Structure 1
């Protein structure tokens, strides 16, 4: 599997259903039927692609959306969600996190209490584990995908390690300067946890 196939595979899951759980089932079933190398490729590519969104600017954009409370885990799950939106959207927001203001899935959350986000939370933790589940399904080896990755010189990631300069979206002047459009639709304190 190469990067184009990875994105096509995710796109096909989204064409089948928009429900995240059903997409995971589809991805898991189709990965488990694939050669083991393809399952390992999927996890390696997921990690590599996720790394592109692993910046302080993106974390602070997520922090704005989450009302100032985007934890390390929350950001990790947010990155997977971004990937799940597809290649075009991912590339758009990785280029400039302020472009999240144009993403329909983000705009639908604006101005609403986080309590009302049932089924719409911008996170997709389980995408991180779909390859592990498929590998186990195919081989019976629990977490065997990580050993297979290690044999190929890759280690799995489980936390963000952002690049760029650290800053805080809690500073309204800085948030408006760095994320002007997103700051207009999500201001810290506008959504309650």
Structure 2
């Protein structure tokens, strides 16, 4: 399965879900589990490749601003939820994480834990097992050192989520 096929399945699940994240996960799991085993494994590999592309300090900063903090597990949920939004939103966020300020403000769906589980469950149903995940050791890009840097790095997100300098601790 190539990247285009991967994104088609993600988009089909989005279209069928009508904005409901639980339904989106259920549809995604069904679609993956209906694939031949080799395709399901390749879907998982594409998913992991997209997770790797999203593994950057700047996107982690975006997640930090949106959530008011962000652990490594929460960032994984954020990246998988970003994938769930579809190819256009994902690629726009990769090239300009501050563009996430233009996405719908649906707090629950920014960090939805179940999307990556839907991938795993679908792959296991189709192939019997999920291949070992291969993720980068470190996020890409320059690490921000202080929370106040996020105001400059992500001004639209900072304004939208009340992260501007001068906030009360």
Question: How does the TM-score come out when normalised to structure 2?
Answer: 0.86
Uncovered stretches (5+) of structure 1, i.e. residues with no partner: 110-116, 147-154
CA-atom RMSD in angstroms: 2.4
User: For residue 35 of structure 2, what is the aligned residue in structure 1?
Assistant: 34
Does residue 122 of structure 1 match 2:107? Answer: no
Does residue 185 of structure 1 match 2:160? Answer: yes
Does residue 145 of structure 1 match 2:146? Answer: no
CA contact (8 A) 1:75 1:160 kept: no
Q: Distance in 1 between matches of 2:116 and 2:145?
A: 27
- How much has 1:22 moved relative to structure 2? 1.3
User: For residue 156 of structure 1, what is the aligned residue in structure 2?
Assistant: 133
Distance 1:15 1:121, change over 3 A: closer
Q: Distance in 2 between matches of 1:39 and 1:47?
A: 12
Q: Distance in 2 between matches of 1:28 and 1:191?
A: 42
Uncovered stretches (5+) of structure 2, i.e. residues with no partner: none
In the alignment, which of 140, 147, 151 is matched to residue 176 of structure 1? 151
CA contact (8 A) 1:93 1:99 kept: yes
Q: Distance in 2 between matches of 1:80 and 1:191?
A: 31
User: For residue 6 of structure 1, what is the aligned residue in structure 2?
Assistant: 6
- How much has 1:159 moved relative to structure 2? 8.5
Q: Distance in 2 between matches of 1:100 and 1:93?
A: 6
Does residue 96 of structure 1 match 2:71? Answer: no
CA contact (8 A) 2:77 2:113 kept: yes
- How much has 1:185 moved relative to structure 2? 1.6
CA contact (8 A) 1:78 1:124 kept: yes
- How much has 1:169 moved relative to structure 2? 5.4
- How much has 1:88 moved relative to structure 2? 0.6
Distance 1:97 1:134, change over 3 A: same
CA contact (8 A) 2:40 2:126 kept: no
- How much has 1:124 moved relative to structure 2? 2.8
Larger radius of gyration: 1
